Amino acid sequence: MDLTTILAQHVPADLEEAADLRRIREFVSAQGNPFDRAIVSGHLTGSALIVSSSGQEVLLLHHVKLARWLQPGGHAEGGESGGETVALREAWEETGIEGLFLHPLAPRPLDVDVHQIPARPDEPAHEHLDLRYLVVAPRHAVLAPQAGESARIRWFAWAELSTLDLDPGLVRALGKARKITDRG
């Protein structure tokens, strides 16, 4: 199924996600390769909400540049044109967990979010139009993140998340993930 069709079927959870979905759908329809990082105004990214095999914990990393807890994710590499592919590769690179897989009951994507990336010396401010997927870690998953990917990485019980200063879009996505993991 092509990305336009997939996005047309996505059901947003709230008005903010509905606005982000509209923005992403407009962007995808206007771009030949919406994952192309060379698009200066912004580009699609893929990220993974990783839950433990029991569904009782979620894995977050403390992003070095943004100084906050986030889900693993990032940019497409040459030849990648699907959010699922990007999300799974980025999740593996940032966590080192072998055998990650998409949750079989979760919609794909689970959530969509548009957020601003501040300017840096090597690139202007731009948008990340993020496609978020629910990903499961295999039983006995071993964390082995690549050096420089994150300052810290750890599993959080669902109840611990309320103590973190999380982005509202991430809170929404985690709420969706929790509902799915509680079901099965």
Alpha-carbon torsion, ordered 88, 90, 92, 93, to 10 deg: 160
- pLDDT at residue 85, rounded to an integer: 96
Q: Tokens representing 87?
A: 């999300």
- pLDDT at residue 1, rounded to an integer: 82
- Residue closest to 85 by CA, chosen among 102, 97, 99, 70: 102
pTM of the model: 0.95
Per-residue pLDDT of the chain (184 residues; tens, 9 = 90+): 899 999 999 999 999 999 999 999 999 999 989 999 999 999 999 999 999 999 999 999 988 777 889 999 999 998 888 999 999 999 999 999 999 999 999 999 999 999 998 888 988 999 999 999 999 999 999 998 777 656 689 999 999 999 998 999 999 999 999 999 998 6
CA-angle at 51, arms to 47 and 57, nearest 5°:
130
CB 74, CB 43: distance < 8 Å: no
- pLDDT at residue 78, rounded to an integer: 84
> What CATH number did the domain enclosing 55 receive?
3.90.79.10
Total domains, the chain: 1
Nearest 5°: phi and psi at 116? -85, 140
What domain range is 52 assigned to?
3-183
